Structure 1
């Protein structure tokens, strides 16, 4: 990205993957009314907020095309899986001991003290 932001790599030389990430970033910016924008105030591009999810999605596609339907991909705390699981809260939170997550192929990131469990 440093080379792109310096102008060393013109748009015409960007890879197909880079163009896909840029298109996804534009779509996300439009869908969030500009709240999510990979362009920094100085005009440089920083796709780090979208690239990890894009890579996880692509990895899941590779696994699915290989005929595997039950899988779990975790990349730095952002999982994607094809199974139903639950979140069990280890902290004592009155009335909130856990809940069931039906991911349906979507990521279910969590933060805090908890554990992802299989039913």
Structure 2
């Protein structure tokens, strides 16, 4: 089956290659992602994230899901020495860099629980796959109709952070200024939770980001720096 919906501000596509009826599982996946958009969007005044950021939660405590997200945010803030930070001065609390991968990985878990074994869930270009190998193209950071490389990915996830879609939107939390040391950075990891957060955190580190990401457990990296040099780890699963 194939299904595409616009959720959380970007297209989310689902492909399941297994035999059987997975319509109910797909419904559950997209319902979960819509719930995440309602609860965790910093762009919605009444969301849990917005109310938490303003200190307005009725019971004073975040939900279990938000506590999990906050824990991830703190983990990556500490690991980067503050380069990755969802609490920047003069800006609203914004955990989107963690929420996207975390929520899509949980959606993949819903599919697995329903019995799907071979599927691809693509959320705005960040991908989690089951089975494989799946071929995943990495977009060229300066030419939208070209790819830099094609990866062969099995039971893993791929996430890319870059400047080509939203400009200099990733800030270095240590300086408050845009991170400009890289054009794009892609991470392959066992889960999209890890891949997405690692890619964004590494991009915030600038020129030091690829080496930092490569040192993370179970992560492979493909990066293009500001000088247009390509950096990649030896274990990157490049398609033949």
What's 1:107 paired with?
158
**1:74 and 2:122 matched:** yes
**C-alpha offsets along residues 7-45 of structure 1, whole Å, 9 cap, x if unaligned?**
111684211100000011111112223221111123742
On the 8 A contact 2:104/2:123 being kept in 1, the answer is yes
Question: Which is further off, 99-108 or 59-68?
Answer: 99-108
Indicate conservation of the 8 Å contact 1:4/1:10, yes or no.
Answer: no
Whole-Å Cα distance in 2 between the matches of residues 53 and 88 of structure 1?
17
Q: 2:133 is matched with which residue?
A: 84
What stretches of structure 1 of length at least 5 have no aligned partner?
113-117
The DSSP-based 3-state class of the residue aligned with 1:34 is coil
Choose from 60, 74, 80 the match for 2:108: 60
Q: TM-score, normalised by structure 2?
A: 0.39
* Larger strand share, 1 or 2: 2
Corresponding residue of 1:115: none
Instruction: Provide the aligned length of Structure 1 versus Structure 2.
Output: 110
* Distance of aligned partners of 1:28 and 1:11 in 2 relative to their CA distance in 1, 3 Å threshold: farther
Q: CA 1:110 to 1:39, structure 2 compared with 1: closer, same or farther past 3 Å?
A: closer
Aligned in 2, Cα 1:88/1:4: closer, same or farther, shift over 3 Å?
closer
Superposition CA RMSD, Å: 3.2
For 2:73, the equivalent position in structure 1 comes to 25
Residue 20 of structure 2 corresponds to which residue in structure 1?
none
Q: Which structure 2 residue ranges, 5 or more long, are not aligned?
A: 1-48, 140-144, 165-238
Whole-angstrom CA distance in 1 between matches of 2:128 and 2:53: 31
TM-score of the pair, normalised by structure 1: 0.71
* Partner-residue secondary structure (3-state), 1:106: strand
